[in-house]
Structure 1
Amino acid sequence: MGDLDIITIVIIAANVIISYKGYGDFSFFEKYKFQVGPIQRGEKIRMFSSGFLHVDTQHLLFNMLTLYFFSSVIINYLGQFNFIIIYFASLLFGSLLSLYFHKNEYYYSAVGASGAVTGILYSAILLQPDMSLMLFFIPIPIPAYIFGIGYLLYSIYGMKNKVGNIGHDAHFGGAIGGYAITLILSPWLFQTNLLMIGLLAIPIVLLFVLKKAGKM
């Protein structure tokens, strides 16, 4: 993990440049952030542009480090072109799920690459489920699939209880995008990793069961 491919460098550079432009230019930030009202009026570009803006350097750094660690897994298995497809599909799925959950909140807004990056994380776990992760606050390796499932369960909790100023639904939508597109691009996973496909589907199914039951 962590070999820096040219396409990863380009995406990180775009995030850094556009985010820093947004830090110092309020009107630029306002024009390109995710906001329900303007998107419903037709400003669909915000569904993508918001994924390159961040609220601060810590937010940007966390997302870019996660991207750095997991992008090489997908590029090694599926190539650069498919990595780009997964990245932007995850970004779009994150925006679509946010729009779905907040469609009646005209002023709801969000920024960040978290949806795209969570999609990359989920895709990498599907492709290489025996990966282990070392988290900053837990000094022992955690199986990647445990982290992925736990992260989405926490996202459901965060969406339900509006925890923090975090777009939990964008994270979740991104994970769904990364999961679905990876399976479309890699049907061989159904032969080799069927158990993992089932385990990673649990929080996704749970979210929609809760939504249908009116619990979200």
Structure 2
Amino acid sequence: MLNLDPAVIIIIAANVIVSIRGFKDFEFFEKYKFNIAGIKRGEQLRMLTSAFLHANNNHLLFNMLTLFFFGPIVVVYLGTVKFVLIYFASLIVGSLLSYYLHKDENHYSAIGASGAVMGVLYSAILFKPTMVINFIIPAWLFGLAYLLYSVWAMKKNADNIGHDAHIGGAIGGLGLTIAFAPSLLGTSLWVVLLMAAPIVLLFIMHKIGKI
């Protein structure tokens, strides 16, 4: 049985309420989405508010289902306060990485809770690396494959998905989880190293101009 902590429910409800408002109100959506030009004008709040907006019902549903299933795992191991900190830290790191990688693209925009949700997902993977995702995939393999795919997708730039926010969220989730539970470096060091490899690869590729 899932531990449906009030914090998980409140965050899901906030995403649903704000997203529905965004679906119906174009001006509201444009005002609060992540946009490089807007942030440069001093509208840094967009880096937070954009994570509560979604493109459509499917986008919202996917993120909230992921949070619904993996948020309680983080709550069980770390408690409510640390879960909330991981969620919002991952959100911010995801936005900061997006800004860093796209700072010269004034037109660049993004929305969605994916960065924050990825942080929670990767936190849960550290605690339960052998749990099964989608009925067949070990969590550690899913986590590794998704990060590698995100790096590949960023290089190809073939879709409109903010993969950089996903990776930033994963960095925030992994880093803060280890800070809160350093014993994981003993019990799950192999998972930490596996998850770190694609992240290191990303920054190497960015450094040499491949991304």
CA distance in 1, matches of 2:127, 2:7: 19
**Deviation (angstroms), 1:169:** 0.6
2:61 corresponds to:
61
1:194-205 counterparts in 2 under 5 A? 194-205=189-200
CA distance in 1, matches of 2:165, 2:189: 26
Kindly indicate whether the alpha-carbon contact (under 8 Å) linking 1:36 and 1:105 is maintained by their aligned counterparts in 2: yes
2:11 is the alignment partner of 1:11: yes
TM-score, structure 1 length as denominator?
0.95
Q: Which among 127, 152, 161 is matched to residue 166 of structure 1?
A: 161
1:40 corresponds to:
40
> Percent of pairs identical after alignment?
57
Relative to structure 2, which stretch is displaced further, 38-47 or 75-84?
38-47
1:70 corresponds to:
70
CA distance in 2, matches of 1:178, 1:127: 12
Relative to structure 2, which stretch is displaced further, 50-59 or 125-134?
125-134
2:205 corresponds to:
210
- What is the letter of the counterpart of residue 52 of structure 2? F
Task: Indicate the SS of the match to 1:66.
Answer: helix
- What is the letter of the counterpart of residue 62 of structure 2? F
Task: Indicate the SS of the match to 2:137.
Answer: strand
CA distance in 2, matches of 1:4, 1:117: 16
Give the aligned CA root-mean-square deviation in angstroms.
Answer: 1.0
Question: For 1:31-72, what per-residue CA distance to the aligned partner results, in whole angstroms no more than 9, with x for missing partners?
Answer: 100000111221111001000000100000000000011001
1:87-126 counterparts in 2 under 5 A? 87-126=87-126
**Deviation (angstroms), 1:3:** 3.4
CA distance in 2, matches of 1:19, 1:78: 28
Instruction: Please list every run of 5 or more consecutive structure 1 residues that lacks an aligned counterpart in the other structure.
Output: 135-139
2:182 corresponds to:
187
Task: Indicate the SS of the match to 1:8.
Answer: helix
1:50 corresponds to:
50
Instruction: Please list every run of 5 or more consecutive structure 2 residues that lacks an aligned counterpart in the other structure.
Output: none
Equivalent residue pairs, number: 211
1:120-159 counterparts in 2 under 5 A? 120-134=120-134, 140-159=135-154
